[in-house]
Amino acid sequence: MEKNILIVEDDQFLRELIGQKLVTKGYNIIEAEDGRKAIKEIKKEKLDLILLDLILPDIDGFEVLAQIKGDPTLSKIPVIILSNLGQKDDIEKGLKMGANDYLIKAQFTPEEVVEKIKVILK
């Protein structure tokens, strides 16, 4: 059965790059370019995993994560943060808030991101 993955990323190029990589691996992709749209999609779709950027227009990724983890019907959805924020404080905050993993964009290729997703969805 196809897994639904929401990519929350305001950089269109990166969103499409990761999206295409996931589609070739058989995943179904839903995209959101900002926090507000992300929250709408999270409530509307049945998601298996969320790939979440932190620096977003409208509502930032930490707030999106707080809303996901604060809602018992959504809190079980795994979240991988994919961000340029590489400070130890940001990473610790994201993981403490309930993210399953925290990837710094500059350090991971789309292929490696897909590998992380596979591990979490097993």
Q: How many domains does the chain have?
A: 1
Q: Where are any strands of DSSP class E within 4-78?
A: 4-8, 28-32, 49-52
Q: Give the C-alpha separation, 91 to 65, whole Å.
A: 13
Q: What is the pLDDT of residues 40-86, one digit of tens each?
A: 999 999 999 999 999 999 999 999 999 999 999 999 999 999 999 99
Q: Which amino acid is at 1?
A: M
Quote the domain boundaries for residue 27: 4-121
pLDDT attached to residue 1? 76
Q: Give CA–CA dist 64/42, Å, rounded.
A: 10
Residues 39-53 have pLDDT tens digits of 999 999 999 999 999
Query: How confident is the model at residue 80, as a pLDDT?
Result: 98
Give the CATH number for residue 48: 3.40.50.2300
Residues 6 or more apart in contact with residue 19 via CB below 8 angstroms: 7, 29, 31
